[in-house]
Amino acid sequence: MAVNESDRCASYAGAPILLVRDLRTNILKPASFSLSAGECIAIRGPSGAGKTLLLRAIADLDPSDGLVCLDGRDRASIAGPEWRRLVGYVPAEPGWWADTVGEHFSEWTAALALVRDLGFPDEAKAWPITRLSTGERLRLALIRALMVRPKVLQLDEPTAALDPASVAAVESLIAAQIQAGLAVLWVTHDAEQAKRIAHRLLVVDGGRIREEVLEWPVTSA
């Protein structure tokens, strides 16, 4: 029986906040999983396996087929810009379109609490982007994405270039957001980090994804 197009998400009513069914691109094999509010899924897999492509497909930055629902609403029924405000994405190498940090925030004062949490002074607003280190860029991009107040946040190795203290700051910040109901997809290479932050684990390999038990004794990848 054909499923009514406008109602494709309704049959999963009461389901998790993000529902992905047979999501595929010309590279990505059909992927299916779901993510609840206040839940964090770690995504692991070798380089080039398609982790970033999966996040981009969910954020609707690349054309994809399949069903993606947010809170019972079909992605196809939501305009692209609105979808990306609901489902945030911080890439491994965030982009910047203006000269200073402050110009990338609609309201700097509103962002101050997060800015301080991640170890920046208030004056960071006037810092030129070109002088930021990779780690500073990652942390500022994370704040920028959180300021949009997404329901789902996708992070592509947000702590890759950070010192241990900053890693701890980012992890506790995201943990607090998860406590408050944010759903998170977190790509990480670090098995220990996956255990610290995530409730579940997805492994992407050769464009295919599968769920693995998080508590497995993971050998260093």
Partner 1 sequence: MASYIGLNYWELAAASVFVFIDAGLSVAFGLKVHRSLLVAAVRMVVQLALVGLVLTTLFSVVSPLWTGMAALAMVLFAGHEAAQRQERRLSGWWSYGLGTGCMMMSSVLVTVFALVNVLRPDPWYDPRYAIPLLGMILGNCMTGVGLGLNTLTTSLFSRRASVEAQLMLGATRQVATAPVTREALRSALMPMINSMSVTGVVSLPGMMTGQILGGVPPAEAVKYQILVMFLIAGGTGLGAVTAVLGGVYYLTDGRHRLRLDRLTAPKTT
Residues that bind partner 1 (CB under 8 A): 59-63, 79-82, 84-85, 88-91, 93-97, 141, 144-145, 148
**Minimum CB separation from partner 1 for residue 103, in Å?**
11
Contact criterion met (CB below 8 Å) for 158 and 169: no
Residue 62 vs 212, nearer CB to partner 1 = 62
Residue 63 vs 121, nearer CB to partner 1 = 63
Residue 43 vs 68, nearer CB to partner 1 = 68
* Whole-angstrom distance, CA of residue 210 vs CA of residue 36: 17
- Residues near 148 by beta carbon (within 8 Å), at least 6 away in sequence: 85, 88
Residue 115 vs 194, nearer CB to partner 1 = 115
Residue of 79, 60, 52, 80 whose CA lies nearest to 20: 60
**Minimum CB separation from partner 1 for residue 28, in Å?**
14
Contact criterion met (CB below 8 Å) for 211 and 39: no
Residue 64 vs 188, nearer CB to partner 1 = 64
Residue 95 vs 217, nearer CB to partner 1 = 95
**Minimum CB separation from partner 1 for residue 26, in Å?**
9
**Minimum CB separation from partner 1 for residue 9, in Å?**
17
* Whole-angstrom distance, CA of residue 138 vs CA of residue 162: 9
Q: What is the SS3 string spanning 62-127?
A: CCCEEEEEECCEEHHHCCHHHHHHHEEEECCCCCCCCCECHHHCCCHHHHHHHHHHCCCCHHHHHC
Contact criterion met (CB below 8 Å) for 154 and 59: yes
**Minimum CB separation from partner 1 for residue 143, in Å?**
12
**Minimum CB separation from partner 1 for residue 91, in Å?**
7
